[in-house]
Structure 1
Amino acid sequence: MDKKRREILKFMLGSLAGLVNLKTLPSEAHSSISSESQFINLCNLAISHEYGAIIQYINHSGIIQKRKIWSVLLENMNDEVVHARELTRILIKEGANPTVAAWPPQTGKRLIHLLKEDIAGENAAIELYQQILDLPESSSYRDVIYPFLKREMVHRERLQRLINALSPKG
């Protein structure tokens, strides 16, 4: 599923980039609009991803009956809510319209499958935040965005520990 998510991510990035037609802008505006649009588009994509993660965590915590596991999922979900809210604030400061679209959540019935889907989502978020932090425009928001990247890594580690604890010792 990780490959499928990457394909969706590439499609969404391409679609968002296509919304800005640089040919209609004066040539001197191309460089500032181009990079600003990439920052705004990636932040909107990150919000969409956070919304999808929130939905997915809610779904998985309802399916999973083990209290220790769903408490981890809910703790991760609470972080995702904070990330979405702060990204919304960043976009408002930038004069952009924050999206309300949700990244397509993944579900299933088997516990290990659900946790692997959650890890795939965290991996996608880590890649996305790294891309955002590589943009020059992110420097103004580094103190806000960098901790998101670190929290997504913590989420991934928590989920992997759960999988390791559930996997038979070999």
Structure 2
Amino acid sequence: MQIITSHAEFEQHLGKELGVSSWHTITQEQINKFADATLDYQWIHTDEEKAKNEGPFGSTIAHGYLTLSLIPYLWKEIVDIQKLKMEINYGIESLRFAQPVLVNAKIRLKAKLASIVNLRGVTKVHMAIEMEIEDQKKPAFTGEVVFLYHFITP
């Protein structure tokens, strides 16, 4: 795990892969809880029997936005950003869902620092991300996430 405590330290990683998170298993319970939270009960996610017998994947699949929502959790396994006043999830750019994530599949996040800029004391980073699926050639998605970091200055 990388530890970063300032804009200058972050800048040293420009263009480099910062790391890969551990594997996270997507369970049916997690899918169902996400459906409850978002009111998205499409059968391909929540009806195990129908998805098995009538669906194109032979099982339920995770909501795309469920896998997307795991970015902050998995990101914290890759980099520990310290000495912060505040951090903000600022945006997502160029996101493409490439492949569904089947129930009980394992996913992990890979991140590379694509760009960094100092906005009058606020560090804005663009992270090129890929959500890998274990034993699959294609990722669940690729894109760029944008974070704002307000480091504590001495």
Q: Same fold (TM over 0.5)?
A: no
Structure having the higher helix fraction is 1
Question: Normalized against structure 2, the TM-score is what?
Answer: 0.27
Larger strand share, 1 or 2: 2
The two structures have a TM-score, normalised by structure 1, of 0.26
Q: Higher relative contact order at CA 8 Å, sep ≥6: structure 1 or structure 2?
A: 2
